Amino acid sequence: MFTRLVEGFYRRVRADDVLAPMYPADDFEGAKMRLRMFLVQYWGGPTTYSEVRGHPSLRRRHLPFRVDAAARDRWLTHMRAALDDLDLAPEIERPLWDYLRRAAFAMQNSEEDR
């Protein structure tokens, strides 16, 4: 499930004029791997993310990037579409979407839109 979610999300991000520039063009595969490992760990899977990357510290890891409301909303738009592609049962989809929304708002580090 997480592999498909991440693939669908990054397929959209690659074509996004706001989000794509935040990623090194040659590291989309790395970004996909990191997000997938993080989600698997967060939702109770193996702790591979922490073993490889250390504590998630998501907000700190995103500080080098200007994440304003526009970027946050783009992220949510692409993640929502990727989640919809999975056609999950509501009891799985709802808590996952709730978490993703909270995480997106937590990553916002700029009040000024572009």
pLDDT of residue 109: 81
pTM: 0.85
Structural domains of the chain, count? 1
pLDDT of residue 75: 94
What is the CATH number for 103? 1.10.490.10
35-94 tens-digit pLDDT: 999 999 999 999 888 887 766 555 555 556 677 899 999 999 999 999 999 999 999 999
In a domain, 41, yes or no: yes
Average of pLDDT values for 25-30?
87
In a domain, 113, yes or no: no
pLDDT of residue 53: 72
Q: Answer whether 95's CB lies under 8 Å from 50's CB.
A: no
Its domain, for residue 95, covers 2-107
In a domain, 114, yes or no: no
CA 37 to chain centre: 11
